[in-house]
Amino acid sequence: MIANPASENVVELQARLHDLTSHRAALHARVGVLDVGISEVTALLGEIEQRLKAQESEVARLMLAAGQPISFGNDYSQRTVRWTSGGETIQLSGPRPLDSPRGKADHARRVYDALEAEAQPIRASLAGLEHERQETKRAIGLLGGEIGGVEGQIARMRAEEAQRVELIGRLDWRARLATILRRLVNGAPMRTVQELRAEGKSIREIEAITGISKSEVQRQLSAAVPSGTADRLQGA
C-alpha cells in the first residue's frame, strides 16, 4: 500500500476496501465449511454417547447383580489387594475372575472406559471446531466495522470532491493521480510516452493512461522526434 503523509486517498481506500471485503468473504466461506464439519462431528458424537449410555446401564446392572455399589472406577486395573476378616477373604482391587459376578461387572467397566477414551478426541475436535467458528464469526464482525469505516471515508471524500467541483469545476488532477497510484498499487510497469504513441494512442489517451499532463506528453514526444516535426504533435 502506498503511504500518503497527509491522508489516505480514494485509490488507497478502495484497495483497502477490496482486501477487507475479500478477507470477509473468505471468512464467511470458512464458517460454511465449519458448519458442515460441526454437523457431521455432532452426529458422530451422538452415536458415541448413545453407545456410552447403553454401556453405563450395563455396568450398573452387573454391579447390582454382584452386590456392589455402582461405581465407574478402574480398580480392576490396580494391584491385587485382598482383605481377610473372620475367615473370609475379600478382594478389594485388581482383576477378578471373569466368570464371577464381580468379574463380569469389571469387564463391563473396562468396555465403558475404552469407549470413553475413544470418545475424548472426538469431543475435543467438536469443541475446537465450535471455538474456531465462534472466533471466525467474531473476526467477521470486526471486519464489518472496519469495512463500514472505510466506506464512510470514501463517501466523505466523494462528497468533498463534489463540493470542490461546484467551486472550481472538474479538474483532471485527481484522476491522473488515481491512474498513477493504481499502477503503483498493482505493480504494473509504466509504459513510456513513446511506446504508447507507437501503439497509436492519442495525446489525450496517453494523458489518461499515464497521469502525465498533456503539455508534458507533448514535450516528451517532441524531444523524441527530429527537429521540425514537433509542430505536428499539437492537438493530436
Are 81 and 94 spatial neighbours (Cβ–Cβ below 8 Å)? yes
Q: How confident is the model at residue 135 (pLDDT cuts 50, 70, 90)?
A: very high
Give the residue from 69, 65, 150 showing the smallest Cα distance to 100: 65
Instruction: Give the whole-angstrom CA distance, residue 143 versus residue 139.
Output: 6
Is 70 exceeded by the pLDDT of residue 126?
A: yes
Q: How many CA atoms lie within 13 A of 110 on its CB side?
A: 13
Q: Which tens digit of pLDDT belongs to each residue from 79-110?
A: 655 666 766 666 666 666 677 888 888 888 88
Q: Specify whether the backbone of 170 is left (phi greater than 0), alpha (psi in -120 to 50) or beta.
A: beta
In angstroms, the Cα distances linking 166 to 64, 142, 157, 159, 178 are 92, 37, 14, 11, 21
Is 80 exceeded by the pLDDT of residue 141?
A: yes
Q: Which tens digit of pLDDT belongs to each residue from 11-39?
A: 888 889 999 999 999 999 999 999 999 99
Q: Which tens digit of pLDDT belongs to each residue from 171-214?
A: 777 777 777 776 676 665 666 777 778 778 888 887 777 777 77
pTM: 0.59
- Cell triple for 199: 501503439
Q: How confident is the model at residue 3 (pLDDT cuts 50, 70, 90)?
A: very low
